[in-house]
Amino acid sequence: MSSMIEVKHVEKSFGHLKVINDCSFDIEKGSITGMIGPNGAGKSTIFNIIAGTIPLDSGQILLDGEDVSSLTANQLFNQGLLRTFQIAHEFSQMTALENLMMVPPNQLGENIFNTWLKPKQVMAQELEVRQKAQEVIQYIGLDHVKNELAGNLSGGQKKLLELGRTMMTDAKVVLLDEVAAGVNRTLLKDLTDNILRMNRELGITFLVIEHDMDMIAKLCDPVIVLAQGSVMVEGAIEDIRNNQKVVEAYFGNDAA
Ligand SMILES: Nc1ncnc2c1ncn2[C@@H]1O[C@H](COP(=O)(O)OP(=O)(O)OP(=O)(O)O)[C@@H](O)[C@H]1O
């Protein structure tokens, strides 16, 4: 197995507060790697650094062997690394299907000159995108609500739609930040099944930050425990659960 993402000696401070401290770990290609840790451990910060939304102070991030430490989120998107985002306000007034159709970058039709100069190509591409969106909406099990406004979908359905949006791209790695929050148990199972299926069938690598331990246990191997800005332990969830250092990091020394 080779690495999809390598985090090497990354450091990040906010003012005088050192939040990420000589942090190094690898995410294997084809894995669903979980990241857990107590509040304030630096999970969101390292996640945002990998996603290109926060610059690192020092260290290096490699994507598929290439140094991407200074790339922006947009540039990383074009290299196949993306994170799910909540459906923005303006998209909530579009249908679920239209939300999927908005995703592919560089659609020819977006450029007015292309619409005049290359109308056939624009139409062919729109048809292709529509077909792909239809396939994706079926894949994620939202066909029955494809014409509903995204704003009217339930919390869990919105999460599924966000996952679907990543399938409209040629994603190699998807970063998921607390997808389970506010999702009911039935849709949580759909969400978990879809992530497992996308991983198995499409070969997408996932990095998952999650407070829901059930979801972590169902999805992730390995699991990385972050504490005070660096990796405390890494391994299978059963080993992590029984690790005394981890229990102490979460609950303090009283937990012993
Ligand atoms: N933009 C910022 N400016 C200043 N301090 C920040 C900033 N972002 C995060 N921090 C601080 O960095 C530390 C780590 O925060 P971070 O959100 O990465 O932790 P976390 O592990 O994701 O926590 P949680 O599980 O509570 O979401 C915290 O002490 C937080 O207050």
- pLDDT in the model for residue 249: 80
Residue among 17, 20, 179, 226 whose CB has most ligand 1 atoms within 8 A, to mutate: 17
Is ligand 1 within 6 A of the CB of residue 44?
yes
Is ligand 1 within 6 A of the CB of residue 41?
yes
Q: Is there a contact between 30 and 2 (Cβ–Cβ < 8 Å)?
A: no
**Shared-domain flag, residues 59 and 97:** no
The CATH number for 40's domain is 3.40.50.300
Atom number of ligand 1 nearest to Cα 15: 4
Strands (DSSP E) contained in 69-182 are: 81-83, 173-177
- Strands 66-67 and 58-63, sheet pairing: antiparallel
**Shared-domain flag, residues 136 and 154:** yes
**Shared-domain flag, residues 26 and 152:** no
- pLDDT in the model for residue 190: 87
Q: pTM for this structure?
A: 0.86
**Shared-domain flag, residues 43 and 69:** yes
Q: Tell me the CA distances in angstroms from 131 to 103, 146, 168, one per residue in order.
A: 13, 13, 11
Domain count, the chain: 2
- pLDDT in the model for residue 256: 44
Model ipTM?
Answer: 0.96
**Shared-domain flag, residues 107 and 231:** no
Domain termination residue (choose one: 108, 142, 169): 169
Q: How far apart are CA 121 and CA 66, in angstroms?
A: 33
Report the run of H or E that residue 115 belongs to, with start and end: helix 112-117
3-state secondary structure of 155: helix
- pLDDT in the model for residue 114: 54
Question: From the CA of 196, how far away is ligand 1's center (Å)?
Answer: 29
**Shared-domain flag, residues 138 and 194:** no
**Shared-domain flag, residues 138 and 71:** no
Q: Tell me the CA distances in angstroms from 43 to 87, 191, 209, 210, one per residue in order.
A: 22, 22, 7, 10
Residue of the CA atom closest to atom 27 of ligand 1: 39
Q: Is there a contact between 176 and 83 (Cβ–Cβ < 8 Å)?
A: yes
Is ligand 1 within 6 A of the CB of residue 40?
yes
**Shared-domain flag, residues 46 and 62:** yes
Q: Tell me the CA distances in angstroms from 229 to 12, 69, 219, 240, 248, one per residue in order.
A: 9, 18, 23, 18, 16
pLDDT averaged per 10 residues, the chain (length 256): 94 97 97 94 95 96 96 90 72 90 60 58 74 92 95 90 87 89 84 92 93 90 95 93 84 56
- pLDDT in the model for residue 24: 98
- pLDDT in the model for residue 87: 62
Q: How many of the other CB atoms lie within 10 Å of CB of 79? A: 17
**Shared-domain flag, residues 27 and 57:** yes
Q: Which domain holds residue 105?
A: 87-169
Question: From the CA of 46, how far away is ligand 1's center (Å)?
Answer: 10
Question: From the CA of 57, how far away is ligand 1's center (Å)?
Answer: 16
**Shared-domain flag, residues 203 and 161:** no
**Shared-domain flag, residues 76 and 174:** yes
**Shared-domain flag, residues 26 and 68:** yes
